[in-house]
Amino acid sequence: MPGSTVPPTPPVPLSALLAREDLSLRRIAGPDDPGTVVHWVHTSEMADPYPYLLGGELLLTAGVHIPEAAGSGTYFDDYVARIVAAGGAALGFGVAPVHDTVPRALVEACERYGLPLLEVPEQTTFSGVARAVWQLMAQARLAELRRVTEAQQSLASAASRPDPVPSVLRQLAQRLGGWAVLYGPEGAEIARAGREPGQEVASALAELARVVRPTDAEAAPPPPSPPNRPHPTSATDTVSGTHLAAYALGAGRGFVLGVAAPGRAPGDHTIVSVAAVLLSLLSGEQQSGTGAARSSALVRLLLGAAPEDVAPLLGDGRRWVVVHARPDGEGVPDAVAASALGAALGSALVDPVGDVVRVLVPADRAPDPLPGWTLGVSAAVAPEDWPAADTQAARALARARATRAPLLRHGPRPALADLVPPGEAAAHARTLLAPVTDRPALPETLRTWLSLHGSWDRTAVALSVHRNTVRQRIARCAALLEADLDDPDVRMELWFALRQI
């Protein structure tokens, strides 16, 4: 047969079909190979079923086609040989109503040709066998879809972590039960995860990556010949029983994803494709009309334009929130981690500064908590109020870290302070806080300490200083302001004033 054509459905292990107690099937000849699978069921009473088989079938027959003198000639050998040549997976023989037992010569022929032979008892109909195969296929398909969906969710979550590239590779390697590696444009390993393979497999995977990596010559305009020979974007191989695959990422940037797994299960290709798309976004530079608009907005701001004048270049959002994010660990997020955070929040307006990443997000994309990050979110504001929103987000992040909350939002609401005219409130605040405003650390420490109900430890966490430093600053504030900070009325007045600066 030129080649088997199997359906795009998960195959059913023959062992799973034999395990069905309601069928009572029994293997009486052929190899007991756990790798034998069935792709579909076909019933035929033809003496030569070869023209009607596509490969991978469980062929069912009641032996109507068998002549009386078949056992003394080569009939069964010819019959089984044709099934094997067509790619049949197994043969099921019904012992009723034509034959009381499976012909001995058929059993011997199946043994010689290595074709599994199943005895189908009288109470089991062929349609019942077919229905069982379809049921097992449906269960396998549902399990495959569930596995792919869970993998997609975990990969997307990994891409939003502070270390997105290693996290995606770790998640991919875990899902495949193997090894995943990202190669750079020069062929060097940028990151890897999973169970390290042997040197032979690692070298073969690196060579496979070179096959799909575009060369410098291919980055130039292609020559007129040879036609119809595009550069491959993926390639597979098998070395020492390990399945290898390499995927080129993006359009000609030279990054390649390589994976090595002990086998290839249904859904693996889809899972790796999702990881390849995420890694392509994480490893590539975003150069588009949107990027040009952002550059134009930056230039206009540098040349003195007002924020409300350049905001239309950044998107359709009329109101915005500022997000301050900090990774949960001790590490400092790099540019890739910051870009991945922006992608998770739905914005490319990202600014990594030290251990904090600031993101400007349209208000209609209010962020949710992200694994691995602590977020502080400002109130929704118009562009002219971005600086105030930046301050709100910074304070919300400090409070979130102090209270160990994954996300805190600044939520303005009408208060008694709104009854005082802003000018008079600001003048009162300047007068009251004048003794401490020459040292910015003092009013900020006092503000944070009051917001956290006088907790030394939480204030130290929020400000990233030692708790003794907090005590010293608060004592200094009390002395300079000549105020009793244990008095709730004093605290309320100071809190009112601190909100004005």
196-237 residue pLDDT tens:
888 899 999 999 988 888 664 444 444 444 444 455 678 888
Inter-residue contact 81 to 112 (CB < 8 Å): no
Pairing mode of beta strands 350-353, 356-362: antiparallel
Alpha helices in 303-380 (DSSP H): 307-310, 335-345
What integer pLDDT is reported at residue 47 of this predicted model?
92
Alpha helices in 27-177 (DSSP H): 75-85, 104-113, 126-159, 164-176
473 closest CA partner among 440, 425, 495: 440
What's the pTM value of the predicted model, to 2 decimals?
0.52
Cα separation, 331 vs 329, whole angstroms: 6
Tens digits of pLDDT across the chain (501 residues):
444 455 556 889 999 999 999 999 999 999 999 889 999 899 999 999 999 998 999 999 999 999 887 777 899 999 999 999 999 999 999 998 899 999 999 999 999 999 999 999 999 999 999 999 999 998 888 888 888 889 888 888 888 787 888 889 999 999 999 999 998 877 888 888 998 888 899 999 999 988 888 664 444 444 444 444 455 678 888 888 899 999 888 655 678 899 999 887 878 888 988 888 888 877 654 444 455 566 677 777 777 777 777 777 776 557 888 999 998 877 777 777 777 787 778 777 888 888 888 988 888 877 888 888 899 999 988 888 888 899 899 989 988 888 888 899 886 655 555 556 777 778 888 888 899 988 889 999 998 998 888 899 999 988 889 999 999 999 999 999 888 988 888 888 888 888 777
Looking up tokens 């990881």, which residue turns up? 275
Rg over alpha carbons for the chain, rounded to the nearest Å, is 35
Please count the CA atoms within 13 angstroms of the CA of 37 that sit on its side-chain side: 13
Please count the CA atoms within 13 angstroms of the CA of 100 that sit on its side-chain side: 0
Cα separation, 78 vs 90, whole angstroms: 16
What integer pLDDT is reported at residue 227 of this predicted model?
46
3-state secondary structure of 35: coil
Q: Angle 457-458-464 (CA atoms, 0-180°, nearest 5)?
A: 90
Pairing mode of beta strands 37-38, 40-43: unpaired
Inter-residue contact 88 to 14 (CB < 8 Å): no
Alpha helices in 91-125 (DSSP H): 104-113
What integer pLDDT is reported at residue 343 of this predicted model?
74
Here the tokens at position 147 are 């596995």
What integer pLDDT is reported at residue 101 of this predicted model?
93
Per-residue pLDDT tens digits for 94-139 = 998 899 999 999 999 999 999 999 999 999 999 999 999 999 998 8
What integer pLDDT is reported at residue 475 of this predicted model?
92
Omega into 97 within 30° of 0, i.e. cis? Answer: yes
